[in-house]
């Protein structure tokens, strides 16, 4: 347990330094795109993204124990006890956590109560590093943590799983640049900026594609991989939704629509549909 705690602490004990590094990367990207930065960045949208990031982190710290507790309880019923001080075990945990993230991400695009949080991330109309921190609220509380429960039941400590998930999310910051380089052979294995641009695009051929976190191989295996269309430029933002830079409207817009539908529900079927059912993204 001591090694688990050390792993978790060493990953997250310097949130200020992590935030400073992320902000520095964003500033460097903006300066690198001068004098044409207005094409890749919008000042109001950037301010909205950073405000949303602060709210997300604040709420995340306050609710971390709520989502961790069920996994800590589940860990008591684990099949094995997998050590956290073994390099091979940690590498395995990293890959398996990314595999679980793939299915979690897939579900976020298919289950309305999960999309309510994830849609925030897709609301940016300019894809750049600031869009990476535009993250919604309530995703874990709505059941996101359940996708990682098989790893805990198998024998990985919840803090190991959260540490691996954190490392994967840190990697994902750098797959949101405004201009995506071609990384050659790595494009076959890793989720790269080129692949993630397709995921964020609202073009019809790109919708609900490239769900991988660190690796793209799971998309290739399960048929959700797509390349950028050759005959049209990529567009970003939510399909059928008017863009806004109001952080509260972005964070709570879909949650408010769910609440409206629940109030109007007249049966358990209506309740289930309000929480879980989603129209195709071209009709939203």
Phi and psi for 276 in degrees, rounded to 5? -120, -30
Q: How far apart are CA 5 and CA 16, in angstroms?
A: 19
Are the beta carbons of 216 and 191 closer than 8 angstroms? yes
pLDDT value of position 37: 83
How many other C-beta atoms are found inside a 10 Å radius of the C-beta of residue 159? Answer: 22
Q: How far apart are CA 261 and CA 185, in angstroms?
A: 47
Taking only the tens of pLDDT, the chain with its 284 residues reads: 555 555 555 555 566 777 888 899 999 999 999 888 888 999 999 999 999 999 999 998 888 788 889 999 999 999 999 998 899 999 999 999 999 999 999 999 999 999 999 999 999 999 999 999 999 998 888 889 999 999 999 999 999 999 999 999 999 999 999 999 999 999 999 999 999 999 999 999 999 999 999 999 999 999 999 999 999 999 999 998 899 999 999 999 999 999 999 999 999 999 999 999 986 544 44
Are the beta carbons of 154 and 79 closer than 8 angstroms? yes
Total structural domains within the chain: 1
pLDDT value of position 13: 56
Angle between helices 158-173 and 15-32 (to 10 degrees): 20
Q: How far apart are CA 154 and CA 77, in angstroms?
A: 9
Q: How far apart are CA 150 and CA 74, in angstroms?
A: 9
pLDDT value of position 31: 93
Q: How far apart are CA 236 and CA 173, in angstroms?
A: 17
Q: How far apart are CA 163 and CA 272, in angstroms?
A: 33
Q: Give the domain extent around 103.
A: 2-283
């Amino acid at each position: 347990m001591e090694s688990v705690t050390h792993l978790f602490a060493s990953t997250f004990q310097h949130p200020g330094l992590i935030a400073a590094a992320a902000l520095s990367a964003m500033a460097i990207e903006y300066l690198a795109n001068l004098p044409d930065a207005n094409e890749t960045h919008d000042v109001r949208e950037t301010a909205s993204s950073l405000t949303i990031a602060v709210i997300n982190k604040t709420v995340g710290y306050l609710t971390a124990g709520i989502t961790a507790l069920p996994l800590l309880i589940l860990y008591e019923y684990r099949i094995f006890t997998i050590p956290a001080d073994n390099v091979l075990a940690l590498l395995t945990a990293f890959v398996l956590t990314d595999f679980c993230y793939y299915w979690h991400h897939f579900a976020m695009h298919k289950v309305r109560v999960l999309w309510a949080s994830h849609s925030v991330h897709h609301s940016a109309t300019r894809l750049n590093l600031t869009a990476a921190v535009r993250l919604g609220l309530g995703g874990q509380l709505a059941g996101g943590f359940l996708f990682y429960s098989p790893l805990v039941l198998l024998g990985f400590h919840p803090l190991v799983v959260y540490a691996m998930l954190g490392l994967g999310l840190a990697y994902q910051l750098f797959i949101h640049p405004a201009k995506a380089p071609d990384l050659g052979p790595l494009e076959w294995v890793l989720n790269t900026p080129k692949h993630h641009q397709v995921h964020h695009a609202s073009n019809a051929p790109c919708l609900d594609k490239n769900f991988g976190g660190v690796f793209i191989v799971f998309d290739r295996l399960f048929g959700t991989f797509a390349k950028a269309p050759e005959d049209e430029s990529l567009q970003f933002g939510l399909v059928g939704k008017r863009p806004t830079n109001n952080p509260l409207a972005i964070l709570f817009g879909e949650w408010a629509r769910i609440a409206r539908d629940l109030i109007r529900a007249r049966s358990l079927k209506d309740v289930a549909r309000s929480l879980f059912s989603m129209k195709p993204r071209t009709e939203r």
